[in-house]
Structure 1
Amino acid sequence: MLDITSRLRVDVDAWVAAQMDMGFCDAIERKACAGKTAAMSAQHLPKVAGIDPTFPAPAHTSAAAHPMPEVPPPPGAVIQDRLAGWVSDLTTLHELTERLARTGTLDEALDELLNAGAALVGARRGMVVLEPPRDPAHDGVFAGAPGAALLPRTRGLGLGRADLGHIETVPREATAFGPLLRDRRPAAAPAPVARPDLLAEDLHPLHREVAVRLGCAATWTCPLATDGSAVLGAAVWMYDEPAEPVERQTHLAGLYMRYATEHLARLLELERARATVATLADELLPRRLPRVPGVALAVRHRTGERGGGDFYDALPLPEGALGLAVGSVSGSGPSALAAMGRLRASLRAYAVMEGEDPVAVLSDLELLLRLTEPARTATALFAYAEPAARRIVLAGAGHTPPLVIGERRTEFAETTLSAPLGMLACWEAPSVELAPEPGETVLLYTDGLLRRTGDAMDRAFARLHTAAAGVPRSARSDPSAVADHVLRAMLPDGLDRTDGAEDVVLLAARFD
């Protein structure tokens, strides 16, 4: 065994004690209490902060004896990193395009485009201007649009109506998206326009004023176009401070915008088709309601996205009478619209000839439908009204019952159960007679009003009854107000929902 002096043993103990976060003197005192030699318990110099001045205090973390050599990356690590980045980018792009593909309307697609683009380029606000190309053959009307469905529209992200209104005051040529929309059919898709420091440029005075008002310091504008296609519009993303997306961001945003352009083009074609169907349906229905003494009329009609065959009619008859009709032809699309037009025209002819007998009118209509269109069915309700006598005689073929709304009652009229037209070899069912009180309103409607609620038919009928009973007293003298209240209660989202598959017809007749 080696002969180690006490002094050296104290040194070793001190080093171990320091490594265990104990003071040197604390270690000495513990050794003395354990019965060590007198040399260890002899009087020491005064302690300072628990450290014996004879021995320097070692650092808690000692430095490495030799620096670690830099290990070069393994072969292919750079390529693996790049591949991982590409996979991440492609995954992000796939998720964003999938979300965009699930949108079914232009407004939904534009909102999704703004949110996805803002995430890709690192912006907080933005706007998109959609302007389909004009068709010169239709006197400046947008291509394929028979009405106002495809007028230019602007959507904002983080911008209110007032903000968008301020932007519209800036001349188009002074904006970044104005020149992009000027050349509607370029040979190649226009390049994005970056303005990394907007206020440092020589801007139009109105443009500078709007930029300061909105706190917009930089913009990045990307056209909605592909090679060889018409420019549909442009998207602008705004930064609060001078900034510009990096090359990787612009590349991903460019790929996304190309896909978005194709998706928006498909939605535009769908909107054009829906607008054409709606216009055709409106042209096949009465352009205005007749004015007959003793009764006030109001109608609300909306064609479904696929174009159904619901119809209504109000026909003045001899001796101050009035013929009211609602109905629905089976099927959808242009063929259903054409069949609806033929059925309505035939019903008007039969009403003029024998309108006093609604059963005869529907019997003739049944025979015509069975002979000319054996593969089609229809529901119909025809009412012969005498406003002066406040008397209504009606008959229905598989149709929903009328609803009478008055001060003392809100009830469905009891009609006989009958199969729709075209389902029986010979249709005939007894008629019923109503006697509305002065001020009461009779509602005629199609089942599309009930089906659009999404409820079961029994619950939809109960919902309609509740909506009619809740018409305010101040509105019951106006059939238009009655119809609007019922529609708001039944369809909170309104009739303008483009994803509504069912036609809706609501005809209100208020008797004095």
Structure 2
Amino acid sequence: MLDIPSRVRVHVETLLAAQNDMGVCDAFEQNEPVGKPDAMNAPHPPKVAGIDSTVPAPAHTVAPASAASDVPRVTTGPGALLQDRLAGWVSDLTTLHELTERLVRTATLADALQELLRAGAALVGARRGLIVLEPGDGLGPRTTVGLGLAQADLGHIETVPRASLPYGELLDTPAGLPGGVAEIVRSDLLAEDGLDPRHREVARRLGFAASYALPLSTETAGRLGAAVWLYDEPAEPVERQRHLVGLYARSATEHLARLLEVERTRASMATMAEELLPSRLPRVAGVQLAARHRTGPRGGGDWYDALPLPDAALGLAVGSVTGSGPSAVAAMGRLRASLRAYAVMEGEDPVAVLSDLELLLRLTEPARSATALFAYCEPAAHKLTLAGAGHCPPLLVGERRTEFVETSVSAPLGMLACWEAPSVEIHAEPGETVLLYTDGLLHRTGDPVDRAFARLHAAASAVPRALRRDPEALADHVLRTVLPDGLDTADSEEDVVLMAARFE
């Protein structure tokens, strides 16, 4: 049995799975002593062309010359050579395992691209690089991210003709063709014959002299993009480094493909939810409107609406459908469309509007419930008549008062055999604003309900006087105060709706 040092962590299943790629079986064919180390046993090249020190170094390094001169030379046999090579392969596999573990812990596409750039740069001994994400199916997203390159630097690189750039050659090669481009090595750009003058000029300006490029492509994931690492001096990765970064890139591409699918799903859900909501708010004399909507990654059922009604009136509505995902978004769209129809026919009676909506929900979607609030607004009279079904009370914000509107306690729609609740009237002074919102605003704070209500009240009370005349600015201030540190834009299971109506 071989005596492999205990400090080398052996991942047996990984080692056996990679033997064919790493050439372990070839080592058993060595019958003669070998006095000169091969490429796998050679000392690490300089920083530009070697593996970066941030990655654990392999255990199979050759002793320095000073140490070798003091120690008598011992002839190595086939067994010692095999042990040394196996230790080196185990060290390389351990490095790949650690880098892959770091990669799979990334939860977003942007984080995964940055991790791929950092790990690849360490493996090939580069300091800078970029990834061009350009999926072959054309569905996007298409983007360019850099490591050690500012946005202006990426802009300079994009001024080079695409055909002259390594990623251009990789991405423009039809995927799946036999003999396709596997890598592009340019070890000395400034001395290369036939290089595009613009490419040479940009390389000189940005201070890179060599590049190594790999496609981000696998048989299952298809072509996703290309990665390019840049060297400050003429250099190129050795065979061992190319093999390691190739294995890592194949694994990383599969992970990127999964995150890309999640990103596309989130974008589709957000687009569908936004399309089901008003593209713009109506302009009605005597009242100014503003609305903010934040949806979770899976899409939710929170919605809002504002529609002109006869006699210069205005209908305002907010609501929330239980559940998340495509079914909740679709149910939200159906509920909102139905409420608009009922509001046009009997909007002056909010209780009748919600009663009809509750009957429709109970007959068409008996397994789903919803909360809703509908207000019949008369801007000329500064008056709102509203009814709520299990919904949060509106908040009235003015110069002399900030208070929640007292509404009767009522059940959500679809919870009782017959819904009924009285309406209430609000008389607003000129310059006062009524805030309508969904409970997602309260839940996203992470506080108990009573504390979340108190936080909302405090945020509305603290709106600066200069912002109170603009409902857009007022809504933004309340959102940022109630949900600080980016919670108003962060991914959350809770949707958020906030609508402001300011009376002139």
Q: TM-score, normalised by structure 2?
A: 0.81
1:387 aligns to 2:379 (yes or no) = yes
Q: Contact (CA 8 Å) 1:186, 1:229: kept in 2 or not?
A: no
| Matched letter for residue 325 of structure 2 | G
Aligned residue number for residue 409 of structure 2: 417
1:480 corresponds, among 464, 472, 485, to 472
Q: Distance in 2 between matches of 1:418 and 1:228?
A: 53
Deviates more, 1:193-202 or 1:112-121: 193-202
Aligned residue number for residue 254 of structure 2: 262
Q: Contact (CA 8 Å) 1:186, 1:228: kept in 2 or not?
A: no
Matches within 5 A, 1:62-461: 70-73=73-76, 76-133=79-136, 142-143=138-139, 150-187=140-177, 190-202=181-193, 203-227=195-219, 230-461=222-453
Distance of aligned partners of 1:87 and 1:412 in 2 relative to their CA distance in 1, 3 Å threshold:
farther
Instruction: Give the CA deviation at 1:382.
Output: 0.9
SS of equivalent to 2:396: strand
Distance of aligned partners of 1:354 and 1:271 in 2 relative to their CA distance in 1, 3 Å threshold:
same
Instruction: Give the CA deviation at 1:105.
Output: 2.0
SS of equivalent to 1:394: strand
Residue deviations 1:16-66 (CA, integer Å, cap 9, x gap): xxxxxxxxxxxxxxxxxxxxxxxxxxxxxxxxxxxxxxxxxxxxxxxxxxx
Distance of aligned partners of 1:186 and 1:68 in 2 relative to their CA distance in 1, 3 Å threshold:
closer
Instruction: Give the CA deviation at 1:460.
Output: 3.0
Q: Distance in 2 between matches of 1:156 and 1:117?
A: 12
Q: Contact (CA 8 Å) 2:428, 2:503: kept in 1 or not?
A: yes
Q: Distance in 1 between matches of 2:164 and 2:202?
A: 12
SS of equivalent to 2:416: coil
Instruction: Give the CA deviation at 1:275.
Output: 2.3
Q: Distance in 2 between matches of 1:132 and 1:345?
A: 37
Instruction: Give the CA deviation at 1:367.
Output: 2.2
Q: Contact (CA 8 Å) 1:187, 1:228: kept in 2 or not?
A: no
Would you identify which runs of 4 or more consecutive aligned residues in structure 1 move more than 6 Å? none
Residue deviations 1:470-511 (CA, integer Å, cap 9, x gap): 3332222221122222233325326554x3322222211111
Aligned residue number for residue 47 of structure 2: none
Residue deviations 1:406-456 (CA, integer Å, cap 9, x gap): 222233222222221111222222222212221122111112223333344
Q: Distance in 1 between matches of 2:132 and 2:165?
A: 12
Instruction: Give the CA deviation at 1:155.
Output: 0.9
Please provide the CA RMSD for this pair: 2.2
Instruction: Give the CA deviation at 1:273.
Output: 2.0
Q: Contact (CA 8 Å) 1:184, 1:231: kept in 2 or not?
A: no
Q: Distance in 2 between matches of 1:454 and 1:129?
A: 38
Instruction: Give the CA deviation at 1:208.
Output: 1.8
Aligned residue number for residue 465 of structure 1: 457
SS of equivalent to 1:331: strand
Q: Distance in 2 between matches of 1:224 and 1:407?
A: 59
Residue deviations 1:85-104 (CA, integer Å, cap 9, x gap): 22222222122222222222
SS of equivalent to 1:349: helix
Residue deviations 1:118-171 (CA, integer Å, cap 9, x gap): 12112111111111235xxxxxxx32xxxxxx3421111111111111111111
SS of equivalent to 2:324: coil
SS of equivalent to 2:130: strand
Residue deviations 1:365-403 (CA, integer Å, cap 9, x gap): 222222221111111111111111111121211212222
Q: Distance in 2 between matches of 1:181 and 1:70?
A: 51
Distance of aligned partners of 1:437 and 1:344 in 2 relative to their CA distance in 1, 3 Å threshold:
same
Instruction: Give the CA deviation at 1:463.
Output: 3.0
Identical aligned pairs, as a percentage?
Answer: 72
Q: Contact (CA 8 Å) 2:221, 2:253: kept in 1 or not?
A: no
Q: Contact (CA 8 Å) 1:185, 1:228: kept in 2 or not?
A: no
* Count of matched residue positions in the alignment of Structure 1 and Structure 2: 432
Q: Distance in 1 between matches of 2:83 and 2:205?
A: 47
Q: Distance in 2 between matches of 1:291 and 1:244?
A: 64
Residue deviations 1:176-234 (CA, integer Å, cap 9, x gap): 11111112423256312122222222432222222122111221111111247642211
Instruction: Give the CA deviation at 1:74.
Output: 6.5
Q: TM-score, normalised by structure 1?
A: 0.79
Deviates more, 1:185-194 or 1:259-268: 185-194
SS of equivalent to 2:290: strand
Q: Contact (CA 8 Å) 1:483, 1:508: kept in 2 or not?
A: yes
Deviates more, 1:124-133 or 1:477-486: 477-486
Q: Contact (CA 8 Å) 2:221, 2:257: kept in 1 or not?
A: no
